[in-house]
C-alpha cells in the first residue's frame, strides 16, 4: 500500500511537473510570424542633398532580416535618371538590422540616386517587404572647379569698403583648396581688388600689377549648400567667408577679416557658354 | 454717283500702294543686351564693366549706376593706368554711355568721369542664358584691341 500511495504521489507530481513545463513553454503551437518587415530609415535620408560621392548607403529594417537575402540584388542604388545600378557590395549587420551598400566607385557629383529594397529581402520568418521600397537622395554638387566665382559687395555709402573678389577652388568631396594654376591679371581668378578707398584700406598692399592682391592660400569646407572658407593674401591679410551655394551658380554670404568688418557679398560663377 | 465712289476707291488704293502698304512696325532686336557685362581687353590693360538699358535698337548706360560696380573701367596694367590717366588702382566710373544695337551688330561709346572716351564695335551672340559681345575696343588713348564682354551676374 505504501508503495501504491508513493506511486500515485509520483504520478501526480509528474503530471504537475508536465503542466508546469507546458505552461512555462507557452503551451500549444506558437503563432507564426506573418508581419512583413519595413525599412525604417535610410542614410542618406530620403530627399536629402549633399551626399558624399565616396560615402556608403545604409538601410535600416524594422526587424531582424535573413542575412543571406540582404545582397546587391535586394538592395540597389540606381541613378534616378535611369540606367544601370551603381556597382557595389552589400553587407548586413544583425545587431543594428542595417544593410550597408558600398559603391565600387565614387558616385557622380550633383546626381540624384534612388535606393531600392526589393521583396527579395526577407525577415527571419521568411516574410518579404510588402512592396519594393524606394528612397532618393542627391550627391554633393561639384561647383568649385573652373570657372571661378566673382562678385562685389554693394555699398550705400562711399565710406563703406567695397571690394571685388575672384576665387576658384579645387573640390574633393567637401574639402576645398586653392588650385595651383590660379591665374594672375588679366585672367585673374584668385585675387581681391579694391573698388574704393575704404576697400583698398581693408585689402592692403596690392601685389599684382599694383591693382590686385593675390590669394596665395585658401581652404574651406562645402557641406552643400553651406560653405565656409578662409583665404590669405600675398600681403598676409586673412579673410573668411561663410554662406550658402545656390544652384551651383551663386554663393551668398558674409566676408570678414581682421581688417574688414562683415560685409554681405554675392559671388557668381562667371558665364560659361552652354553647349 | 457710282463713278465718283469708284474714283475714291481707286485713289485710296493708289495712295496705299504709293506709301508702301500698311506700316511695318519694327519689333526691335531678337536678342537683348539689357544686362551687366564685364570683360578684359586683349591687351590686358583695361577691365570694363558696363550695364545697359535697351530700348529697341538704342542702348544707354544704366543710370544711376553707382555705387554698384557695374559701370566703370579698371586699369589692369601700367599701360592701363596711362590710358585711363589715373594713379590709383581704383576703377574709374563711367559718366555716360550710349550706342546702337542692330542685332547682332553693336556699337557703343563710353566716357569715364575723367573724360576718357572708348568705342566698342562688335557682335552679340546669345547661347542659352549666356550673352556675349565680341569686338574691338578703341579710343584716343587706347590702341584698338579685342574685347569680349560677357553677361555677368551681380
Those residues with Cβ within 8 angstroms of residue A225's Cβ, 6 or more apart along the chain or in another chain? A49, A50, A244, A245, A246
- What residues in A contact B77, CB-CB < 8 Å? 185-186, 209, 211
List, for residues B87-96, the tens digit of each pLDDT value.
999 999 999 9
Domains in chain A: ranges and CATH: 39-139 (2.60.40.1220), 149-269 (2.40.160)
Cβ neighbourhood burial of A12 (10 Å; 0-12, 13-18, 19+): exposed
Residue A28, pLDDT > 60, answer no
Contact call for residues B111 and B120 (beta carbons, < 8 A) = no
Contact call for residues A139 and A260 (beta carbons, < 8 A) = no
Domains in chain B: ranges and CATH: 27-151 (2.40.128)
Residue A266, pLDDT > 60, answer yes
Interior angle at CA B46, CA A188 and CA A266, nearest 5: 50
List, for residues A97-139, the tens digit of each pLDDT value.
999 999 999 999 889 999 999 999 999 999 999 999 999 999 9
Q: What share of chain A in percent tops pLDDT 90?
A: 67
Q: What is the H or E stretch that residue A11 is in?
A: helix A2-24
The full length of chain A comes to 275
- What residues in B contact A270, CB-CB < 8 Å? 150, 152
Round to whole Å and give the CA distance between A101 and A92.
Answer: 9
Chain A nearest-CA distance from B55, in A, is 24
Tell me, what DSSP letter sits at residue A67? G
Provide φ and ψ at A72, rounded to 5°: -70, -5
Q: What is the pLDDT of residue A25?
A: 47
Q: Does A152 touch chain B (CB under 8 A)?
A: yes
Chain B nearest-CA distance from A150, in A, is 9
List, for residues A180-207, the tens digit of each pLDDT value.
999 888 888 899 999 999 999 999 999 9
Nearest CA in chain A to B72: A195
Contact call for residues A73 and A48 (beta carbons, < 8 A) = no
Contact call for residues A38 and A131 (beta carbons, < 8 A) = no
Least confident of A119-128, A169-178, A227-236, B21-30: B21-30
Provide φ and ψ at B130, rounded to 5°: -95, 135
Residue A222: closest CA among A149, A168, A171: A171
User: Measured between CB atoms, which of A151, A186, A194 is closest to B76?
Assistant: A186
User: Measured between CB atoms, which of B67, B127, B154 is closest to A273?
Assistant: B127
**Grid cell digits, residue A261:** 568688418
3-state secondary structure of B70: coil
Q: Does A268 touch chain B (CB under 8 A)?
A: yes
List, for residues B58-107, the tens digit of each pLDDT value.
999 999 887 788 999 999 999 999 999 999 999 999 999 999 999 999 99
**Residue A184 CA from chain centroid, whole number:** 34
- Mean pLDDT estimate for chain B: 87
List, for residues A68-81, the tens digit of each pLDDT value.
999 999 999 999 99
Contact call for residues B86 and B74 (beta carbons, < 8 A) = no
Q: What is the pLDDT of residue A275?
A: 33
Residue B16, pLDDT > 60, answer no
Q: Does A154 touch chain B (CB under 8 A)?
A: yes
The pLDDT confidence band at residue B27, using thresholds 50, 70 and 90, is confident
Residue A13, pLDDT > 60, answer no
pTM of the model: 0.71
Contact A162 B67 (CB under 8 A): yes
Residue A218: closest CA among A270, A271, A267: A267
Chain B nearest-CA distance from A207, in A, is 11
**Residue A26 CA from chain centroid, whole number:** 48
Residue A175, pLDDT > 60, answer yes
CA-based R_g, chain A, Å: 32
Q: What is the pLDDT of residue B152?
A: 83
Nearest CA in chain A to B79: A209
3-state secondary structure of B113: coil
Contact call for residues B49 and B38 (beta carbons, < 8 A) = yes
Cβ neighbourhood burial of A29 (10 Å; 0-12, 13-18, 19+): exposed
Residue A6, pLDDT > 90, answer no
ipTM of the complex: 0.76
Q: What is the pLDDT of residue B10?
A: 44
Round to whole Å and give the CA distance between B45 and B38.
Answer: 14
- What residues in B contact A248, CB-CB < 8 Å? none
Alpha helices for chain B (secondary structure H):
2-18, 78-84
Q: What is the pLDDT of residue A61?
A: 98
Least confident of A50-54, A143-147, B7-11: B7-11
List, for residues B134-151, the tens digit of each pLDDT value.
999 999 999 999 999 999
More reliable by pLDDT, B71 or A24:
B71
Q: How far is CA A184 from CA A180, A193, A213, A214, B130, in A?
A: 12, 12, 10, 7, 25
Amino acid at each position: 500500500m505504501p508503495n501504491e500511495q508513493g506511486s500515485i504521489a509520483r504520478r501526480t507530481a509528474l503530471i504537475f511537473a508536465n503542466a508546469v513545463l507546458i505552461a512555462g513553454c507557452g503551451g500549444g503551437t506558437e503563432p507564426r510570424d506573418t508581419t512583413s518587415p519595413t525599412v525604417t530609415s535610410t542614410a542618406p535620408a530620403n530627399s536629402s542633398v549633399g551626399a558624399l560621392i565616396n560615402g556608403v548607403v545604409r538601410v535600416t529594417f524594422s526587424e531582424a532580416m535573413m542575412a543571406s537575402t540582404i545582397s546587391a540584388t535586394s538592395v540597389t542604388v540606381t541613378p534616378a535618371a535611369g540606367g544601370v545600378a551603381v556597382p557595389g557590395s552589400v553587407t548586413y549587420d544583425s545587431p543594428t538590422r542595417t544593410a550597408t551598400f558600398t559603391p565600387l566607385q565614387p558616385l557622380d557629383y550633383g546626381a540624384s540616386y534612388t535606393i531600392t529594397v526589393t521583396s527579395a529581402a526577407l525577415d527571419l520568418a521568411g516574410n518579404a517587404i510588402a512592396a519594393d521600397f524606394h528612397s532618393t537622395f542627391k550627391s554633393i554638387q561639384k561647383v568649385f572647379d573652373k570657372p571661378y566665382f566673382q562678385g562685389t559687395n554693394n555699398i550705400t555709402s562711399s565710406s563703406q569698403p567695397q571690394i571685388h573678389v575672384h576665387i576658384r577652388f579645387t573640390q574633393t568631396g567637401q574639402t576645398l583648396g586653392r588650385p595651383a594654376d590660379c591665374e594672375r591679371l588679366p585672367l585673374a581668378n584668385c585675387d581681391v581688388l579694391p573698388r574704393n578707398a575704404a576697400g583698398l584700406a581693408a585689402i592692403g598692399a596690392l601685389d599684382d600689377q599694383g591693382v590686385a592682391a593675390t590669394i596665395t592660400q585658401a581652404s574651406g569646407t562645402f557641406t552643400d549648400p553651406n560653405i565656409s572658407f578662409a583665404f590669405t593674401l600675398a600681403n598676409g591679410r586673412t579673410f573668411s567667408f561663410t554662406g550658402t551655394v545656390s544652384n551651383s551658380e551663386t554663393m551668398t554670404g558674409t566676408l570678414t577679416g581682421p581688417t574688414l568688418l562683415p560685409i554681405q557679398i554675392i559671388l557668381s560663377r562667371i558665364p560659361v557658354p552652354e553647349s | 454717283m457710282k463713278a465718283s465712289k469708284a474714283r475714291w476707291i481707286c485713289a485710296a488704293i493708289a495712295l496705299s500702294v504709293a506709301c508702301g502698304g500698311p506700316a511695318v512696325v519694327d519689333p526691335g532686336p531678337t536678342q537683348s543686351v539689357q544686362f551687366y557685362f564685364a570683360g578684359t581687353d586683349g591687351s590686358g590693360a583695361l577691365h570694363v564693366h558696363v550695364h545697359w538699358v535697351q530700348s529697341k535698337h538704342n542702348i544707354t548706360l544704366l543710370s544711376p549706376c553707382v555705387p554698384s560696380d557695374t559701370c566703370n573701367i579698371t586699369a589692369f596694367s601700367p599701360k592701363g593706368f596711362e590710358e585711363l590717366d589715373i594713379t590709383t588702382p581704383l576703377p574709374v566710373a563711367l559718366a555716360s554711355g550710349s550706342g546702337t544695337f542692330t542685332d547682332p551688330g553693336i556699337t557703343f561709346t563710353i566716357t569715364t568721369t575723367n573724360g576718357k572716351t572708348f568705342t566698342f564695335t562688335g557682335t552679340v551672340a546669345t547661347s542659352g542664358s549666356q550673352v556675349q559681345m565680341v569686338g574691338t575696343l578703341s579710343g584716343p588713348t587706347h590702341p584698338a584691341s579685342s574685347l569680349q564682354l560677357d553677361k555677368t551676374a551681380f
